[in-house]
Structure 1
Amino acid sequence: MTTKIIFGSNKLGNIRNEQLQATLVKFKLGTLLSAKKTEQGAMGQTMFIISTKGEFVFKGNPLYKGQLEEEKYFIEQLRQRTEVPVPIPYLIDDSTDIFGWKYALMPLLKGKHLTDSTLQHTMNTKDKCSIAQSIADALFAFHQWKVEDFGELDTHTLKITPFKTGYYQWLFDRILFWLEDARKYSKVTHDDLQWTKNLLEDSKEAFQRITSPTFVMGDFKPGNFLVQQKESSWSISGVFDFTNSFFGDPVSDLVKMLTYYLDNNEKVVAKHLVDAYFDKLTNKVDSITRLKVHMLHQKVLDWGNAKATKTVTWYDELPFYHWAGEYTQAMEDLFR
């Protein structure tokens, strides 16, 4: 389920304080003091809860059957395998008597989002590079969880279901499918399709040479992690939201943060991130080639979503291959 594109969510709807109190009673977590919905949760599934026993995150109304169980599995595995802070214990109420659907409670992790306004006004380039270093370290730690098969987690058996066509074919087909889908909402020309197919074909051998798939968070972005400053350096103080996690090419986890840095004119920080991560790798050439494809994948999704929802009007007249090409070329430029 984690590799499917989800465009909407069930959202929490109206939650009453007495319902939240009932959840706290179930897990012996004290008396409710306050609650509010989170600002960062794009899917509208989360709330902050403060009780006499502490601060928690409430997550409910699952997007699909097994979402909470799957996330709990990933979090518990990462807690055992890495030192990266994750929200544990991850408590699930299997009954539906309070809300009509399952929910989970987890501790609220300390720290601030990278996009926090106070951080943005006080951080200098050295601070931002320190955070980029900690991102590289956290992702590399995640990627030490190596498996035998490319695929996604079966939410019933908690075992990996391999991609039927193989990893690179699954990825290539996915990119072409969503580019074709974007034709419903925007102009996608023969040149756009040919440019995309050429880039995929040129990278095929690099993907075929991947010998060890790893855990991939799938959605490592500013809204899904927290940072803290300790003396003169920064560290990741929490990572959460593993709804999009699967087992594939680890370098794909860099794409959303590189996009964030490039879109905010922070090329120095973006370069620090790739240098910090790629210095740990042995086969850099193949990884750079694959990184371009993962950036293309993200740009196809971004283009289709933006055109379908009409939420942005950037580059109305610019061809897709030109717009996306600026990002894929930027991947090469960061290594010069």
Structure 2
Amino acid sequence: MTTEIFFSANMIGVLTNEQLQRMLDRFNLGNLISYQETSKGVGKQTLFVSTTSGDYVLKGNPLYEGQFKEEKFYVDNLNKLTNLPVSYPYIVDEQEDIFGWTYAIMPRLPGIHFTDQNQKEKLNKEEKKRIVELLVNCLCEMHQWKVEQYGEFDSKNQRIRPFESTYKTWLYNRIRYWLKDAEKYSVITSKDIEWVEDLLLSCEEAFDVLNSPTFVMGDFKADNVLVQRLTEDWKLSGIFDFTTGYFGDGIADLPRIVSMYIEDGEEELAKHFITAYFYRIESKETFIERFKVHMLHQRVLDWGCAKAIDNVTWDHNLSFSEWAQRYTDFVTSI
């Protein structure tokens, strides 16, 4: 289920002090002091919980069966294989007697979101570049987790389940599926479809020769990263939310950050992010082609979602291909 797309979530809803204390007692996590909703929580699925033993995050009411077991698999392995600041231990309770659903509880990570408006205004040019480099370091370390086959984690059988066909077929079919789905909410012209197919065809060989399955977070964005200011520098202090993780091409984790910088008018930071990542990876061949396809994939998802919920922030007169090409071609300008 890792590679399913979720445009909404099951909310935690209203909880009582008694329920939260029962949860804390079950895992010897102290006495409840307070709790509050998280400002960046996905679909209101998370809650900050403060106790006499520390600060925690409760994540409940799973999107699908096995969500938290799957996230635990990723967190446990990243904790073991890397030095990344993940929220460990990631405790999963599969019993439903307290809340009526399964849940996970984990230590709350320190730090701030560097995109918070009051924080962005304080950052100078060099600090912004430093944060870009922290993001690149994070990705490069995360992408060191290599496996033998492309696929997704099967929480029921506790193993990586290979994609039914090749990774390229899975990715290309996914792009076509969501482009077709976008027709429900927007105009997708024959010219748009032709442009997509031409791009996919021109990049096929890059994926045909690709053979290095890597852990992909699937949702690497500013909201899922925390940073902390030291005396004269910044450090990465947290990375979280692995709901959409799978094993594919690491470049797939770049588009969301690149798109963010482009949309914020900070194209130089987007270029710095791509360039710094490029020089750190071993497999530089076909980088441009792979980036274009992964960016196309992300643009298809973002277009369809924005159109479906009427949250379009760009010129309504732009066709899909006109809008998306700015992003897919961005890598060629570097």
TM-score bucket of the superposed structures, by smaller chain: over 0.9
Unpaired stretches in structure 2, ≥5 consecutive residues: none
Matched, 1:154 2:162: no
1:272 Cα deviation after fit = 1.5
Structure-1 residue corresponding to 2:178: 178
Write the mapping of 1:48-87 to structure 2, written as runs, cut at 5 A. Answer: 48-87=48-87
| Contact 2:261/2:269 (8 A) holds in 1 | yes
Structure-1 residue corresponding to 2:205: 205
| Contact 1:188/1:320 (8 A) holds in 2 | yes
User: How far does the alpha carbon of each residue in 1:3-36 deviate from its partner, in whole angstroms, 9 at most, with x for none?
Assistant: 0111221110111111111111111111111101
Q: In structure 2, the residue corresponding to 1:241 is in which secondary structure?
A: coil
Unpaired stretches in structure 1, ≥5 consecutive residues: none
User: How far does the alpha carbon of each residue in 1:31-76 deviate from its partner, in whole angstroms, 9 at most, with x for none?
Assistant: 1111011110122110001111111000001111111111011001
Q: Aligned partners of 2:166, 2:224: CA distance in 1, in Å?
A: 29
Counterpart residue identity of residue 320, structure 2: F
Q: Aligned partners of 2:8, 2:320: CA distance in 1, in Å?
A: 25
1:285 Cα deviation after fit = 4.1
User: How far does the alpha carbon of each residue in 1:153-209 deviate from its partner, in whole angstroms, 9 at most, with x for none?
Assistant: 001122111111211111111111111111111111110000000000000001111
User: How far does the alpha carbon of each residue in 1:225-265 deviate from its partner, in whole angstroms, 9 at most, with x for none?
Assistant: 10012233322111000000000000111111111111111
Matched, 1:324 2:324: yes
Q: Aligned partners of 1:285, 1:10: CA distance in 2, in Å?
A: 41
Write the mapping of 1:240-319 to structure 2, written as runs, cut at 5 A. Answer: 240-312=240-312, 314-319=314-319
Counterpart residue identity of residue 62, structure 1: P
Q: In structure 1, the residue corresponding to 2:174 is in which secondary structure?
A: helix
Structure-2 residue corresponding to 1:89: 89
| Contact 1:125/1:269 (8 A) holds in 2 | no
Structure-1 residue corresponding to 2:43: 43
Q: In structure 2, the residue corresponding to 1:130 is in which secondary structure?
A: helix
Q: Aligned partners of 1:252, 1:155: CA distance in 2, in Å?
A: 22
User: How far does the alpha carbon of each residue in 1:266-313 deviate from its partner, in whole angstroms, 9 at most, with x for none?
Assistant: 112111211211111244241121011111101101111111111225
Q: In structure 2, the residue corresponding to 1:238 is in which secondary structure?
A: strand
Structure-2 residue corresponding to 1:218: 218
- RMSD over equivalenced CA pairs, Å: 1.1
Q: Aligned partners of 1:173, 1:154: CA distance in 2, in Å?
A: 21
Structure-1 residue corresponding to 2:27: 27
Normalising to structure 1: TM-score of the pair?
Answer: 0.97
Counterpart residue identity of residue 173, structure 1: N
Structure-1 residue corresponding to 2:114: 114
User: How far does the alpha carbon of each residue in 1:140-159 deviate from its partner, in whole angstroms, 9 at most, with x for none?
Assistant: 11111111111100011221
User: Where does structure 1 differ by over 4 angstroms across 4 or more consecutive aligned residues?
Assistant: none
Counterpart residue identity of residue 315, structure 2: Y
| Contact 2:95/2:101 (8 A) holds in 1 | yes
**Which is worse superposed, 116-125 or 43-52?**
116-125
1:116 Cα deviation after fit = 2.1
Q: In structure 1, the residue corresponding to 2:242 is in which secondary structure?
A: coil
Counterpart residue identity of residue 298, structure 2: Q
Counterpart residue identity of residue 160, structure 1: I
Normalising to structure 2: TM-score of the pair?
Answer: 0.97
Counterpart residue identity of residue 42, structure 2: A
Q: In structure 2, the residue corresponding to 1:303 is in which secondary structure?
A: helix
| Contact 2:295/2:327 (8 A) holds in 1 | yes
1:315 Cα deviation after fit = 2.1
Q: In structure 1, the residue corresponding to 2:25 is in which secondary structure?
A: helix
Q: Aligned partners of 1:276, 1:318: CA distance in 2, in Å?
A: 31
1:332 Cα deviation after fit = 1.6
Q: Aligned partners of 2:120, 2:281: CA distance in 1, in Å?
A: 31
Q: Aligned partners of 1:106, 1:95: CA distance in 2, in Å?
A: 17
Q: In structure 1, the residue corresponding to 2:321 is in which secondary structure?
A: helix
Structure-1 residue corresponding to 2:131: 131
Q: In structure 2, the residue corresponding to 1:59 is in which secondary structure?
A: strand
Q: In structure 2, the residue corresponding to 1:228 is in which secondary structure?
A: strand
Counterpart residue identity of residue 196, structure 2: T
Q: In structure 1, the residue corresponding to 2:203 is in which secondary structure?
A: helix
Counterpart residue identity of residue 154, structure 1: D
